[in-house]
Amino acid sequence: MASPLEQFEIVPIKPLTLGGLDVSFTNSSLWMVLALAAIWIFMVGGMRRASVVPGRWQAAVESIYAFVADLAQSNIGSKGKQYIPFLFSLFMFVLAANVLGMLPYSFTTTSHIAVTATLAALVFLMVIAIGIAKHGLHFFSLFWLKGSPAWMNIFLLVPIEVISFLSRPLTLSIRLFANMTAGHVLLKVFAGFVISLGLAGGALSAMSVLPLAMNVALTALELLVAVIQAYVFALLTSIYLNDAVNLH
């Protein structure tokens, strides 16, 4: 029986090298492209014939956009309007990658730390760049807690705040990666139970219904987790952007 971790193996589809570096087009690359294609089809198809009275497809697109816009404005305030396109793109990519990973014989790109860490690093660097561009060196006052004694800030609170700030890309990337990986491993394990009991024959074969029912329930749960993790990723990004924009 195949290992539950085999589904995460990166396989080159088109081997390529550039300057001695391996830049092969892999199954991970393919499913990221498919995620982008799915987003493009969803957006263009929904807004191609936009009307004042939206149809179901247009309403779905507008609802998701309004959801992300409300997320940005509630966490960043009126200044968050200019960051809605970035948050929307980030949310849609993570959502599409997570949901496509639920398809049979697919590949979950967000189950790889390299992908989630890259997204988290992009958010982290963007927050720093925006903070310095808007506030200059005053941005670093984010680590100084007003109202606290200077000695406490210097020796205790500032180091804690700096460590907490630097850990953001780590926690942001691991949260998404760990949830998607754990869920898919669990699905694979219970699917293995179904096959093993089914091949055993006799009374054991009848018992395969139990892990099958569990797998169906886990699939529904994993689909919910896929949506929630996309939301959490966008939510935390908006909170981090709020620190850069409003220094709160």
Distance CA 39, CA 233 (A): 17
pLDDT-derived band at 2 (thresholds 50, 70, 90) equals low
Domain count for the chain, please give it: 1
Residue 209, domain member (yes or no): yes
Tokens of 115: 């992908």
What is the mean predicted confidence (pLDDT) over 241-245? 92
Rank 19-28, 50-59, 101-110, 232-241 by mean pLDDT and report only the highest.
232-241
Q: Is the dihedral of CA 167, 172, 175, 176 positive or negative?
A: negative
Q: What is the DSSP letter of 155?
A: I
Q: φ and ψ at 177, to 5 degrees?
A: -60, -45
pLDDT at 1 over 60: no
pLDDT digits (tens, 9 = 90+) for 66-75: 999 999 999 9
Q: φ and ψ at 26, to 5 degrees?
A: -110, 180
What is the mean predicted confidence (pLDDT) over 47-57? 83
pLDDT at 165 over 60: yes
Residue 1, domain member (yes or no): no
Residue 70, domain member (yes or no): yes
Q: Read out DSSP for 63-127?
A: HHHHHHHHHHHHHH-GGGGGGHHHHHHHHHHHHHHHHHTTSTT---GGGSHHHHHHHHHHHHHHH
Distance CA 206, CA 208 (A): 5
Q: List Cβ<8 Å contacts ≥24 apart for 77-86.
A: 77/242, 77/245, 77/246, 79/245, 79/246, 80/238, 80/241, 80/242, 80/245, 83/238, 83/241, 83/245, 86/126
Q: Where are the beta strands (DSSP E) in the chain?
A: 12-14, 17-18, 21-22, 25-26
Nearest to 98 by CA among 189, 34, 148: 34
**Which residues does 172 contact at the CB level (< 8 Å), separation at least 6?**
116, 119, 120, 123, 124, 233, 236, 237
pLDDT digits (tens, 9 = 90+) for 134-154: 999 889 888 888 878 888 888
Owning domain of residue 240: 6-246
Distance CA 191, CA 210 (A): 11
Residue 39, domain member (yes or no): yes
pLDDT at residue 97, rounded to an integer: 95
Element (H, E) at 203: helix 202-206
Q: What is the pTM of this model?
A: 0.90
Q: How far is CA 77 from CA 32, 85, 195, in A?
A: 32, 15, 53
CA 42 to chain CA mean position, Å: 19
